[in-house]
Amino acid sequence: MTVHRSIPTSGSVTQEGSITGIFDKGRGALIVLEMVSKLDSGEKLFTNRAGIFARGEGGFGGDPGPSTRIHPPARAPDVRVETGTLPQQALLYRMASGDKNPLHADPAFAALGGFAKPILHGLCTYGIVCKVMVRRRPRG
User: Which residues does the annotation mark as catalytic?
Assistant: 99, 104
Instruction: Print burial letters for 108-136: b (CB count within 10 Å at least 16), e (below 16).
Output: eebeeeeeeebeebeebeeebeeeeeeee
Element (H, E) at 127: helix 122-136
Q: Are 36 and 49 in contact (CB under 8 A)?
A: no
CA dist 122 and 86 (Å) reads 15
CA dist 78 and 138 (Å) reads 13
Per-residue CA distances from 108 to 104, 112, 114 (Å)? 11, 7, 10
